[in-house]
Amino acid sequence: MKVSTKLAKSVAIAAPAAAPVAAAPAELAAIPEVVTALKAANKAAGTLTTKAKEAARLAAAQLDPSIKDIDARIKHVVKAYAADLSGMDANVRAVFSNALTLLAAGSTPISIETKEKGEVVEKHMTAETALDLSKNDMAKAATQARRAHGTGRAAGAGRPTKTPATPKQDTDAAAFTVWLDNMAAFMDNPRREKKILAKLKELGYKLTK
């Protein structure tokens, strides 16, 4: 059977259009005020944390919300100051990075234990308000914020390796074993001892030591 040329042309299948490739974000220029604050932090140990936080607050204006991965968003900003940070105290780099992480994490809920007047106190806040904590507590909060967003830095590594899910029954048993092994330490902590005894009393138990 003879097929007409016109018909053959009309049934030609068009090739699928290629998916658009997302363009890499443009490199940022360093903000002079950020560089000034970083240099001030590097010079004076007494104001290192304050000045590094100040630099992070100024640099936070460069955090690009269109970069969905929070780790990539932070690195995009830090890269603009790499030349200045390279010769600075490691503490300046750490505080600057941790502060930027908390600002990028914004309203992410954070819970950390800190010491106040010799007692361990549990604090609940958002990531951005954790910027007001001490250097060490701020580092703890930044670590928690990274984990909350699926990133982490353990022993110089990049993203943490995801472990297979553990059956709930095994998880509960393991958690109970850990709790039991640490019970003596919990009871030595006045705040935790009070909570444990209060819960047992609520359940109808009477305990004497």
What does 85-148 look like in DSSP terms, one character per residue?
A: HTTS-HHHHHHHHHHHHHHHHTT-EEEEEEEETTEEEEEEEETGGGGGS-HHHHHHHHHHHHHH
Q: What is the pLDDT of residue 203?
A: 77
The pLDDT tens digits for 115-162 are: 888 888 888 999 999 999 989 999 999 999 999 888 765 433 344 444
Q: Cα 92 to chain center, whole Å? A: 18
Question: From residue 43, how far is each of 39, 110, 139 by CA, in Å?
Answer: 6, 31, 21
Residue 37 contacts residue 51 (beta carbons within 8 Å): yes
Instruction: Scan for tokens 């509960």, then name that residue.
Output: 172
> What pTM did the predictor assign?
0.59
Residues 6+ apart with CB under 8 A from 166: 174
Three-class DSSP category at 176 = helix
Q: What token pair was written down for 18?
A: 């290629």
Task: State yes or no: pLDDT of 110 exceeds 70.
Answer: yes
CB contact at 8 A, 28 and 62: yes
pLDDT for res 46: 73
The confidence score (pLDDT) of residue 19 equals: 54
Q: Specify the length of the chain in residues.
A: 209
Tokens at residue 90, please?
């490691």
For 68-94, write each residue's pLDDT tens digit. Answer: 899 999 999 999 999 999 889 999 999
Read off the pLDDT band of 20 (50, 70, 90). low
User: Cβ neighbours of residue 207 under 8 Å, at least 6 residues apart?
Assistant: 197, 200
pLDDT exceeding 90 applies to what percent of the chain?
36
Break the chain into its structural domains and give their ranges.
32-148, 168-202
Please report how the helices 32-43 and 48-59 are oriented relative to each other, as an axis angle in degrees rounded to 10.
170
Start-to-end CA span in the chain (Å) = 101
Query: What confidence tier does 168 reach under pLDDT thresholds 50, 70, 90?
Result: low
What does the block give as tokens for 182?
A: 């640490």
Indicate the range of 8-17, 63-72, 194-203 predicted with least confidence.
8-17
